[in-house]
Amino acid sequence: MPQATIYPSESDYYGYLACGIYREVYKYGDTAVIKRLLSEPQAEDVESLEIEKSIFKRLMENPHPRIVRCLDIGDDYIVLERLQETLRDRFSGEGAKLRVPPSSSCRLRWAVEAAEGLDYLHQLEILQSDVSATNIMLDSEDRLKYIDFSGASIDGQPANVAYCERNISPHSVGTEVPTVGQEIFALGSVLYEIETGHMPYPELGKRGEVEKKYKALEFPEVDQLCTGAVIKKCWDEGYESVAGVLADLSKVSMFPVLWKMP
């Protein structure tokens, strides 16, 4: 167990935001958040923090506009840029009904951005391992950014988290180390949520109902969606990499892929 760390001055962080696998999240200064290790961490909490620290160190050396910026890393904490809200909250959060719904062009841009970020992570040998609209946030310019790597896999290591029921692939259930195919399946569900504004099968609320559908390879109807062919191909194991998803999205989107690996 590591010794207690002296965090940045408590006068600098405030406004409790969330509690996750190993940490508490607070506002930090005017433009950042701080993710702190829990006050009485378990061994797995410390392990999750170390994994996320190693991932953010790699991302600090190789930044990308679709990944949250890491500003500082300490013994027991990580400081990140502060973003607005999750993609899920944009569609179903408290303020969602008060806003004008995102335009079709905005949704297509978000689809490209979601694929761009995931493709870049894979190029760095990072599998997010819980690709979902709750782990993607919007910045002040409404651009998407992946945010949470506390349970992610790096360099082929096992993940400490699992996909949610609506994002988990029936093709490769039970694998300890996440696969690119699982990530792409989950990306398909994110693309579906971006275009429709809700998760797959929102009418199914009982535990196991969606899993039963997926195991029977029964997925929501997507033929009438702009990105429907791409979503279906994600769910049907039609892609070997996210680069293929990006290539197909470029055929339906007015927003070409502009960011390339340095």
Q: Does a structural domain hold residue 166? A: yes
How many separate domains does the chain show?
2
Same domain, 207 and 224: yes
Task: State the Cα–Cα distance between residues 125 and 44, nearest whole angstrom.
Answer: 22
Same domain, 62 and 100: no
Looking up tokens 């569609």 gives 91
Of 33, 50, 81, which one is at a domain's C-terminal end?
81
Q: Does a structural domain hold residue 3? A: no
Same domain, 175 and 67: no
Pair 183, 128: CB distance under 8 Å: yes
Average pLDDT per 10 consecutive residues for the chain, totaling 262 residues? 47 61 79 85 83 96 97 93 94 74 90 97 96 95 94 90 84 78 96 94 89 94 94 97 96 56 42
Backbone angles phi, psi at 3, to 5 degrees: -70, 155
Q: Does a structural domain hold residue 1? A: no
Q: Does a structural domain hold residue 168? A: yes
Of 81, 109, 129, which one is at a domain's C-terminal end?
81
Same domain, 144 and 242: yes
Same domain, 163 and 191: yes
Pair 67, 145: CB distance under 8 Å: yes
Pair 197, 104: CB distance under 8 Å: no
User: Own/partner pairs for 253-259, CB < 8 Å, 24+ apart?
Assistant: 253/108, 253/109, 253/111, 253/112, 254/105, 254/108, 255/105, 255/108, 255/109, 255/112, 256/112, 257/112, 257/116, 259/64, 259/65, 259/66, 259/116, 259/120
Q: What pLDDT does residue 198 have?
A: 93
Of 30, 54, 81, which one is at a domain's C-terminal end?
81
Other CB atoms within 10 A of residue 198 CB: 15
User: With the CA atoms of 229, 234, 240 and 245 taken in that order, what torsion angle do they form, in degrees rounded to the nearest 10?
Assistant: 60
Q: What pLDDT does residue 261 have?
A: 42
Q: What pLDDT does residue 37 have?
A: 82
Q: Does a structural domain hold residue 91? A: yes
The residue range of the domain holding 31 is: 13-81
Q: At a CB cut-off of 8 Å and minimum separation 6, what does 169 contact?
A: 163, 181, 182, 185, 186, 214, 235, 237
User: Could you tell me which of 113, 119, 121, 163 has the C-alpha nearest to residue 139?
Assistant: 113
Determine if the pTM surpasses 0.85. yes
Same domain, 245 and 132: yes
Residue type, 138: L
Pair 123, 134: CB distance under 8 Å: no
Q: Does a structural domain hold residue 38? A: yes
Same domain, 165 and 95: yes
Looking up tokens 């690996």 gives 261
Q: What pLDDT does residue 206 have?
A: 82
Q: At a CB cut-off of 8 Å and minimum separation 6, what does 179 contact?
A: 127, 172
Same domain, 60 and 132: no
CATH number of the domain that residue 200 is part of: 1.10.510.10
Q: Radius of gyration (Cα) for the chain, nearest Å?
A: 18
CATH number of the domain that residue 33 is part of: 3.30.200.20
Same domain, 192 and 250: yes
What tokens does 72 get?
Answer: 């500082």
Q: Does a structural domain hold residue 259? A: no
Same domain, 41 and 62: yes
Looking up tokens 């944009």 gives 90
Q: Does a structural domain hold residue 146? A: yes
Instruction: Identify the three-state secondary structure at position 126.
Output: strand
Length of the chain: 262
Same domain, 114 and 217: yes
Same domain, 47 and 67: yes
